[in-house]
Each structure stands twice: as structure tokens, then as C-alpha cells.
Structure 1
Amino acid sequence: MELRCLLLNIVFISVVNAMLAFGFANLDEEKRCSYGRIEKLMRIRCHAMDLKEVPQSLKTSVEVLDLSYNRIRKLKSSSFQRYSDIKFLLLYDNMILSVEPGTFEPLTALQEVDLSNNGLTTIPMELFQLPKLRNLYIDSNDLRNLHHDLQLLETPIGAPLEYLNVANCELHDIPDLGILPNLWQLNASLNPLSNFNVDKLGNLCHLRVIDLTKTQMSPCSCQRVTNHLRDIGANAQFVPLCMEALDGDACPLNYNRTVDSPTFHSCLASAELAETRSFWLFAAGCFGGSFLVLLVFCYCIHRWRKKRQNRRLSQAAQNRKHFVISPRNATNHRLEDQPLHCDTA
């Protein structure tokens, strides 16, 4: 009897080990992901579950996916193929070291992604081509060599970025992403920025808030940033305050290098073109909708008139007196040239 129990225990342990080896244990972890809704969006929260990869048995209609505080080391090209409806993706505080090409391509509805506090050494370039990406958090990664990868970046980027967080990434200059007409807030704090080039602010014609706290910018660079932001009416709240204005010879004004630069005017032109395009698209949509409503209205009127006409004809047919053959026509004495007699019923 004891031998039999021992054999059963051995078999049970073997089965459990096999399940762990083939990843069946992840099914239990995935079941523990909480489902809910946030602002009418389908949310799945797999927060702090010690996951080592992106679960593949979640509902494909997920729109907000929280995978933060896990142990994911690598994002594969198949990680999000089943979840193309994701709009908000949280991947902060993982152990992500690499991202395979094509990982984010299926996420055409993605509006915000948080990849902060990982081990990335570059930003996946395909993120910059997502058509709806507005907010990108990539802070607290080691991106000191990012400028090498950005040399191959196709500009202008397709993503309509509005907020970019690259704080604490060991950057020596703000990233050069080309003209960003929609970007209004940039967080580049906690970076050395020893090679900061104020000319790049010409790409950000609608910048309103910039955080450059705890950086190693030179006093002249600080003064130029402050002057630039004041000139465009931006918020200098989070800019290192330059208490004393520097001599113009030591730090020339940068108006001709930023606000009056061809890049700045090209940025403004891009923003105006996008605004004009949006207006005409809106107008075309309104016109098309109104025209469709008018067509439906006319069709309904036509159907109503036709039904009313048919109803009147039917009523007239019912009220009409019916004619029957007169019995006089059946007599044998009727001449052939005499007309037939009809009686009304």
C-alpha cells in the first residue's frame, strides 16, 4: 500500500513538472488577470504576476492592457498579434532588454505606451510610425546611444506625438525626431544634456511645457531655452530658471536660430496643413452625413407617397360599382348588331 502511494506521488510530481516545463502553469496566471472597464474601454490587468512573457489566452478585444511589474525580458513579433485593438499598453517596470522587429506593427489603434523602467538601449523605431500614438513613455532606460539609431529614422514620423518622456535615459541631447507639430510637452529631465542643441527646439513649434530639471546644461543653453519659450508663449515652469541674463556677446539670442528658422516655419506650415486637412475632412464628413440623411428622408417621403397612392387606388377600386352581363343578352331574339346590355350590381 505504501509502495502504491509512493508511485502515485511520483506520477503526480512528474505531471506537475511537465506542466511547468511546457508552460501550462501560465494558464493559471492568466486566469488571475482581472477584467474590467475603464471609461467604457475593456481593461485587462495582469499587474505584478511574475509573468515572463505576454499572455496569449486573454480576450482579443482588450483595449487597455496592464502588464506592469512583471519579469518579461523580451517582446516577440507575435506578442501582440492577437490584440490589435489595444489603445493603452502598460509595460513599465519589467526586465525588457530587446524588442523583435514588427512587435508593435499590429497595434494600429495604440494611443499610449509606457516602456519606462526597463533595460532598453534604444526605442523601437516602428513606434514612430503608428498612426494614432500620442503619448510615449520611455524614461529610465539606457538610451545614451540613441542618436545612432535615429540617423536611420524616416522623418517626418507618422505618429502624432503629443507627449514624450525621455527622462533619466543618459541622453546628452534631446532626441532628433524631425518636425513634431503636435508635441506640446517634453520631459527630458535627469539627463546630462551636455551636448544640448537649442536648434532642435525649432522642430517643436507648439511646445508648451518642457522639463529640464536636474540636467547639466550650460548657463548659455539654459538662457537660450528660456528665451525661446518666452518668445513662443510656452510655460517655463519646469525649465531651470536662469536667474541672471547673460551678456549678448557671451550668449547670443537664438531667435534667428529657432523662431525665425526655416525649420520652425516648416513646423508651423505642417501644423496648419494638418489643421486644414482635419477641417476639410470634418466638413466633408458633415456634408456626406447630411447628404445621406437627405437621401434617406427623400426615400421615406417617396415610399410614403407611393403607399398613400396605392391605398387610394385600392379604396377607389373597392368603391367602384361592378358590371354584370344582363340576362337580356341571353335571349335568342337579340340581333347581332344590337349592343350588349349591362346591369350594375
Structure 2
Amino acid sequence: MYSVTWVLLALALCDVKVLNAESGEIEELTGLPKRCSYDYAYGYYGAYCADLGLNKIPSLKSGVEILDFSENKLREIKATCFSDYSGLRMLYLADNKIYHIEENALASLTYLQSLDLSRNVITHVPPSLFQLPALKKLHLSGNPLTHMDSSALSKPIRAPIEYLDISDCGLTEIWNWGILPQLLFYNISQNSLRSLDVSHFVEMCNLRKVDMSKSIDRIRLCDIKPSIKWLQQRRVDYLLLDDSHVRLKSREFAYCPDGTITDEFNATHTLCLSSYRVPVADVQASRSTWARLCGGLAGFLIGFMLLLYLFHRYNVAKIKRMTEKKKVPPPIQGDKQSSELLLNEVSSA
């Protein structure tokens, strides 16, 4: 009886150990370090490291041009984070826990065209970010930019920014950016703005669309009318995906004065137009294209000249052979017959 009990107890302990071993193996399998995957996108070589629970940038393969590091636990952007990846063109850091960006932390990214810092806890963006020579798209939405103001910017902004998103940043006032001649799309939606002066748009001379949804409902109608009129005159589309468009069609808005567009505004707008420049990235791409074209043309010319040289050498050799053949005199028929007779006489004797 006791022996049977001990056997059953031993089997039970073995089962427990097996189960523990199996659960341990499962935990080890699920606890394996997750790695970035690599692939091509938009014609660039990219590293996909999203949603891996990482708190720092891992060691990546050389030549990476796109990095998706969104949905991780990165808290700071230090100068050493991207120093080895100066060829980055697109950088996605959305949905992390970033609260601090060191000055010049991104200064080495001279080819960077798109930067997404959305939905972090950033209160201040270093001025050097706006000096990146190729930066076209900047996403800052969902950050409490409470420490940003005009004094925090180094003017003029040299980055050729075409798309700028500062939506849902808890802003009541928007600082003066200075001249942004390349800006095409401006998103200031979901902020509780108390004012939006026409001077804010004067230095955005190529602006095509601005999203003001859920941002101007607290501004008095007569205070916002000069800005609306300026945008209408410059044929800028303004999006109002809320009830604000109803207010702008009201009789009260129609009776508001249009406001005075001063000579200073027009002069500033003209200065903005004169400062428009081709983005550095486009210049670099153009130079690269021309370099490839010139290289291909040079290769074609060299090959064509080599072919001509070989053809010339062939013709020279052919002419030389024909000339040498003409120099050998043909045998005389009479001499040939005399030689045959002489040989016959000798043989008969």
C-alpha cells in the first residue's frame, strides 16, 4: 500500500517538474531578445524596431536610411544616439516617453528629411533641430510644448520645412516662427488658442493649407477675421472640421471689419518670397542625378572611342595585307613552260 502511494507521489513530483520545466522553456522563448528587422521602403534601406520595449537605440546595420523606433520606451535623445547613422533620411520616434532632447543631438543628420516625434512628453525642442539642412517634415503633435517660444528658436530657420504639425500640444498662443518660405501644410488643430494674428501667416508665403480645427472657437470672431481674410486672399485652404465654419458664416462675422493689411506685412511677405530656395535634399538629389548622367555619358563616349579605334586598327591591318599581296609579281606563263621543258629533258637524259 505504502509502495503504491510512494510511486504515485513520485510520478506526481515528476509531472510537476516537467510542467515547471516546460513553463520555464516557454518563458525563455517569450523572453528572447527581440531584434529589429530590415527591409527596403521608399527606395531606402530601413530598420524596423517598433514596439520592442526598448529604452535605447540598439546597434544597427550600417547604411540604414530609415529607422522606425516608435512605440518603445526611449526617454532621452542624446548626442550619441544617432552619431553612427548620419545617413538617416526618415526617423520615426512617435509614442515613446521622450522628455528631453540634447542640443545638437540630431545635428549630424544632415540628410534627414522626415522626423516624427509625436505623442511624447517633450516640452522644448532644441533650436538646432530647425537648422537641419534637409528637414522637410516635422511632426510634434501630442507634446506639451509649454516651454517653446520665439526666444527658443534660432532665426532664420534654415530647415526647408514643408509640413509642420503642432496639433494637440495644449497651446494657447503660438510663437512666431520667423520666415518659413517652404511651408506648404501647417497643422495647428486641437489647441485652445486665444489669438491668431494675421502676422503669424505673413511669413509663410507659400502656404497652401492650414488645419485650424478645434483651435479657434475661443477667439472672438472679429479678432480672427483679418487672418481669415489674409488666407482667402492668398488662396490658402483652411480646414475647420468642427462648428467653427458655422461661426465664420454668421452675420456677426460678416459685419466685422476686415482689418488693415499694412505695408509692413506686404514687405515681409515679399521678403519671404525672395528668400525661397530649393531644399538642400533636392539639390543633392539633382547633383546625384547629374553625376550619374555624366558618368553614363562619359562611359558611352569612352566605349564608342574604343570601338572606333579597334575598327581603325582592323582597317589598317586589312589595307596592309592587301598592299603586301600586290607587291608579289605573278609568275610569267612563258617562263613556266620553258622550265617544264628543261626538266623533262634532264629527266630523259
TM-score range, shorter chain: 0.7 to 0.9
Query: What value does the CA root-mean-square deviation take over the aligned residues?
Result: 3.4
Residues 1:48 and 2:60 aligned together: no
Residues 1:37 and 2:40 aligned together: yes
Determine if contact 2:181/2:203 at 8 Å carries over to the other structure: yes
Distance between the aligned counterparts of 2:71 and 2:300, measured in 1? 56
Determine if contact 1:209/1:238 at 8 Å carries over to the other structure: no
Determine if contact 1:83/1:107 at 8 Å carries over to the other structure: yes
State the Cα deviation string for residues 275-326 of structure 1 (Å, max 9, x = none).
9xx89x969x86x8887777666555544443333223323333415999xx
Aligned to 1:261: 266
Determine if contact 1:228/1:254 at 8 Å carries over to the other structure: no
Residues 1:243 and 2:249 aligned together: yes
> Could you say which structure has the higher helix fraction?
2
Determine if contact 1:172/1:196 at 8 Å carries over to the other structure: no
Aligned to 1:221: 223
Describe how 1:279-290 pairs up with structure 2 within 5 A. Answer: none
Structure 1 residues 225 and 245: alpha-carbon distance in aligned structure 2, compared to 1, 3 A threshold = farther
Shift of the alpha carbon at 1:87?
Answer: 1.6
Determine if contact 1:123/1:138 at 8 Å carries over to the other structure: no
* Structure 2 unaligned residues grouped into runs of 5+: 1-30, 329-349
Structure 1 residues 212 and 37: alpha-carbon distance in aligned structure 2, compared to 1, 3 A threshold = same
Aligned to 1:123: 125
Aligned to 1:231: 233
Aligned to 2:63: 61
140, 143, 146: which one pairs with 1:141? Answer: 143
Distance between the aligned counterparts of 1:309 and 1:64, measured in 2? 52
Q: Secondary structure at the match of 2:275?
A: helix
Distance between the aligned counterparts of 2:88 and 2:148, measured in 1? 27
Shift of the alpha carbon at 1:62?
Answer: 2.0
Distance between the aligned counterparts of 1:94 and 1:176, measured in 2? 28
Distance between the aligned counterparts of 2:134 and 2:235, measured in 1? 27
Normalised TM-score (structure 2): 0.71
Determine if contact 1:65/1:89 at 8 Å carries over to the other structure: yes
Distance between the aligned counterparts of 1:206 and 1:183, measured in 2? 6
Determine if contact 1:167/1:190 at 8 Å carries over to the other structure: yes
315, 319, 322: which one pairs with 1:316? Answer: 319
Describe how 1:89-238 pairs up with structure 2 within 5 A. Answer: 89-147=91-149, 150-215=150-215, 216-238=218-240
Determine if contact 2:197/2:224 at 8 Å carries over to the other structure: no
Rg larger for: 2
Structure 1 residues 52 and 193: alpha-carbon distance in aligned structure 2, compared to 1, 3 A threshold = same
* Structure 1 unaligned residues grouped into runs of 5+: 1-26, 325-345
Distance between the aligned counterparts of 1:262 and 1:142, measured in 2? 34
Determine if contact 1:223/1:246 at 8 Å carries over to the other structure: no
